[in-house]
Structure 1
Amino acid sequence: MATYNRTGNRRYEERRRQQLRKQKKRKRKIAVFFTEVMILAVVLIGIYVISLIGKINFKKFSEKDAGINKDIADESMETMKGYQNIALFGLDNRSAGNYTGGNSDTIMIASINHDTKEVKLVSVFRDTVLHIGDGKYKKANSAFSNGGAQQAVAMLNSNLDLNITDYLCVDWAALVEVIDDLGGLELNVTAEEVGLLNTYLRDVDNVTGKDTSHLSGSGVMHLDGTQAVCYARIRKTAGDDFLRTSRQRIVLQAMLDKVKTADVATLLSICNDTFDDIATSLSLKQLLSLAKNASAFQITASTGFPFTVATPRLDGLGSVVVPCTLETNVSKLHEFLFGEEGYHVSASVSSTNNAIINMSGIRSEEDAMDISRYNNTIGADGTYFKDQPAQ
């Protein structure tokens, strides 16, 4: 009996050892399987990232090429280092993904405080007379057609005492794709605006290849990408281009609100659809970082620039926007963006200021028109000042 028990115990122990060996083999196979899956996932992500990098039109340039004024006070340069200032250009070149030329009919500056996640937006009126380089004083939107993004950024820096080295260029096609991927926007549109945006649909459809339906009615309406872009193009109403830049900021704000609630699949779709339709100095890492933190960003203030303007007609330029004066407006801009009260402009800006005065004859704010009500669009879902006629 004792012999049987010992034999039985040995058989049981052998079976137990065999089971343990099988379990270890299964665990090793499972571990190998998951390792292979992880490696495959990393490879696929790498391939996807590389494909995105290949789509983006990257171009970086130095501070020298960016036209940053060398005579800006050291303390002001130090203050601006606390912000990421990005130039945003919207091109009207009637072709998708072409950033070699054309006027930048949308010119914005996005100033981001990464510590507080606060964002301030400034629209530079496209018809503003500024020094665009090579001794030329023309409308601001012509800087891009004269020298691409580099000259357009240099125009902003040299005239406004800024330190911008990052930029993002988009065209109609890119904006349409982003807004469509976000599911469209809810905007407050008047009957007059509906009629005008409908007249722009064919232009945008010719670039994107879409066939967009006309809108009807008024009030808070759902606009698809094409309709929203056409809304942002409207300028033949009271308020002219001043009100158009407000509409552009309203659309941008509505897009950011949608991005904040978008899921990962939507964000990836936006990246895939638009990265071949943009030109930028921002690296893929920077773009993905901005996308990741989008839900934390809050647009706290927006405005048009210049703050005080006159709108004379000048020989060779036609109807223009003249700052009253450039020195005064640049000082106000630095207070708006960076909290620098009583900012003293550089000698470079003073020189440009004097040249603009000499060519325009506009010397003080006494010549200015009131455009203040077109500036702050925060919280607006449409042009909330529609009933007020332009001065």
Structure 2
Amino acid sequence: MAKPGKKKKVLFVLEIIVLLLFIGGLYVYGQISSRLDKIEQPELKKEKIVVNQEAPKMTGYKTYVLFGIDTRGEGSQYSAQNSDTMIIVSVNNDTKEVRMVSVYRDTLLNVGDDTYTKANAAYALGGPEQAITMLNTNLDLDISDYATADFSALVEVVDDLGGLDIPLSYAEIEHMNNYCVETSKLTGKDYTPIEKPEPKPEDEEAIVGTYHLNGVQATSYCRIRYTASLDMGRTERQRRVLGMLFDKAKIAGLSSIFKIMDDVFPMVTTSLSKQDILGLIPTLIGYKFTDSTGFPQKFKFSNIKGSIIVPTDLENNVVELHKFLYDDQDYTPSSEVVARSNKILEIVGGESKLDDAAKTTTQDTDTTNANDTFVWSGDNTSGSTDNSGDYDYDNDYDNGGYDGGYDNGGGGDYDNSGDDGSYDNGGDDTGSDTGGGDYDGGDDTGGDETGGDDGFSDDSAADSGASSEEQ
């Protein structure tokens, strides 16, 4: 039988431990709370955000959207701030699973006011409110919260977490090195070019090795769009990098987390309150990324004036989106989505007028001073037409935009289990499906992760006429 004095000593020690843990928790809370003041939190005009009346209300889930924009200073031809990165994040609070869907920037959608153009223009036209509304009304979603950053923030996060080990193809090394020149100049961060293997491999899209990338290099990797899988590969790279960063942050020390907050939070704009963000901290610890994909899954290309991505059709793509994000097998598209689906195909002259491959361009020959706009507006009364249909199009659309020959083959998905989550982006599969390289939480040397598109926002002119140089 323990002596009374011994029991008191044990209780005293336990009380000290609990007190220290409490004080430590208060310290950490205070450090995080003070750093959250560095995030820009402008008032989101929620009355401007539209949700389709027939859109389903998903219980047990919270949906966010991450926007990546390109801010290169006043006077820059990129300063219109299109959201070339749009990642929908679905959080399942019951299973603790997180899924991501990238919306391809060149997807023809209704961006507001019955104007059909590239989806990335909505942010430049009306800020986060219009961009969120664009996603909600075209995809039957109910998003009300967002976060926005430019690619400088990604450079900082990667460096603060010690870099990333990423499998690269010969083509990716070449294009990444090219992008590093500008990324380094814009961010003031250094890098060392990766030496390309010799001799040049016959298959330039095949993985040649795993390389340790710093912030400039990893961000440049996320911006590549000149390999075979175009925007589908670019967005796949972005999701892969975000998944790897999420995993590294979960095991990082407090000093690293505090440094990320100090370096990155001033570059972030969000609708989330300080309490909202503090409430998300358990998500970082206890949740996991399980899968990711791109939208639309089934698409073709229209080369009316340059190259745009056309969902074939929007209605069925949205059905698949809801299955992926919410495991909703009973979802029926709203009348708004059905109407927009029909209008998109009407605008491009029907699916028979679409191409399986995008127009050819390269990083060296891409147009540099053309407006990157394709616009059809329901109230356009100028009466002009072209040979693609009885609709008016903006004549300033550039001739570039894509590396040739992509066959609608899909983006490989982020998948912790290591399964190859690639899909076929449908249509008539006339070439090779190049998108199968999944991030599996380890050394991903399999799969042909060859995709590529511009990074965290290169195509920065809205269809209001601002000039855009596609890098």
The alignment's TM-score, normalised by the length of structure 2, stands at: 0.67
Contact 1:100 1:148 in 2 (8 A): no
The Cα offsets for residues 142-177 of structure 1, whole Å up to 9 and x where unpaired, read as 111111111111110010000001111111111111
Task: Give the length in aligned residue pairs.
Answer: 347
Contact 2:38 2:266 in 1 (8 A): yes
Post-superposition offset of 1:66: 2.0
Q: Higher RCO, 1 or 2 (CA under 8 Å, sep at least 6)?
A: 2
1:355 aligned onto 2:334: no
Post-superposition offset of 1:368: 6.3
1:81 aligned onto 2:59: yes
Q: 1:229 pairs with 219, 225, 228, which one?
A: 219
Alignment of 1:1-391 (within 5 A): 46=30, 48=31, 51-61=34-44, 64-72=47-55, 76-77=56-57, 80-95=58-73, 101-217=80-196, 218-315=208-305, 318-363=306-351, 371=408, 373-378=410-415, 379=418, 380-381=438-439, 384-386=446-448
Post-superposition offset of 1:388: 8.0
Question: 2:91 & 2:193 partners in 1: Cα distance?
Answer: 37
Post-superposition offset of 1:348: 1.2
Report the AA paired with residue 184 of structure 1: G
Contact 2:356 2:408 in 1 (8 A): no
The worse-fitting range, judged by mean Cα deviation, of 378-387 and 199-208 is 378-387
Question: 2:354 & 2:190 partners in 1: Cα distance?
Answer: 49
Identity, % of aligned pairs? 39
The alignment's TM-score, normalised by the length of structure 1, stands at: 0.80
The worse-fitting range, judged by mean Cα deviation, of 340-349 and 133-142 is 340-349
Contact 1:310 1:362 in 2 (8 A): no
Contact 1:93 1:103 in 2 (8 A): no
Contact 2:296 2:317 in 1 (8 A): yes
The Cα offsets for residues 10-37 of structure 1, whole Å up to 9 and x where unpaired, read as xxxxxxxxxxxxxxxxxxxxx9xx99xx
CA distance 1:305–1:274, change in 2 (3 Å): same
Question: 2:183 & 2:212 partners in 1: Cα distance?
Answer: 18
Normalized per residue, which structure has more helix? 1
The Cα offsets for residues 95-124 of structure 1, whole Å up to 9 and x where unpaired, read as 59x999511111110100122210111010
Report the AA paired with residue 269 of structure 2: A
CA distance 1:134–1:100, change in 2 (3 Å): farther
The worse-fitting range, judged by mean Cα deviation, of 99-108 and 328-337 is 99-108
The Cα offsets for residues 52-83 of structure 1, whole Å up to 9 and x where unpaired, read as 343211135365422211232xxx21xx2321
Contact 2:60 2:92 in 1 (8 A): yes
Post-superposition offset of 1:386: 2.4
Question: 1:44 & 1:344 partners in 2: Cα distance?
Answer: 46
Post-superposition offset of 1:383: 7.9
Report the AA paired with residue 68 of structure 1: V
Contact 1:373 1:385 in 2 (8 A): no
The Cα offsets for residues 213-263 of structure 1, whole Å up to 9 and x where unpaired, read as 212254111101110010011110111111111111111111111112111
Report the AA paired with residue 413 of structure 2: N
Report the AA paired with residue 250 of structure 2: K
The Cα offsets for residues 295-321 of structure 1, whole Å up to 9 and x where unpaired, read as 322111211100100111134xx2000
Question: 2:232 & 2:445 partners in 1: Cα distance?
Answer: 11
Contact 2:233 2:449 in 1 (8 A): no
The Cα offsets for residues 341-383 of structure 1, whole Å up to 9 and x where unpaired, read as 2421111112211211110123489976764542423243458
Question: 1:337 & 1:151 partners in 2: Cα distance?
Answer: 22
Question: 2:351 & 2:171 partners in 1: Cα distance?
Answer: 36
The alignment partner of 1:55 has SS state of coil
Contact 1:67 1:154 in 2 (8 A): yes
Contact 2:46 2:129 in 1 (8 A): no
Question: 1:268 & 1:118 partners in 2: Cα distance?
Answer: 25
The alignment partner of 2:37 has SS state of helix
Question: 2:336 & 2:43 partners in 1: Cα distance?
Answer: 24
The worse-fitting range, judged by mean Cα deviation, of 188-197 and 216-225 is 216-225
Contact 1:308 1:368 in 2 (8 A): no
CA distance 1:43–1:87, change in 2 (3 Å): closer
CA distance 1:243–1:383, change in 2 (3 Å): farther
Contact 2:297 2:410 in 1 (8 A): no
Structure 1 regions of 5+ residues with no counterpart? Answer: 1-30
CA distance 1:302–1:334, change in 2 (3 Å): same
Report the AA paired with residue 81 of structure 1: T
Question: 1:125 & 1:387 partners in 2: Cα distance?
Answer: 17
Q: What is the aligned partner in structure 2 of residue 14 from structure 1? A: none
Question: 2:356 & 2:136 partners in 1: Cα distance?
Answer: 24
CA distance 1:383–1:86, change in 2 (3 Å): farther
Post-superposition offset of 1:322: 0.4
Post-superposition offset of 1:279: 0.6
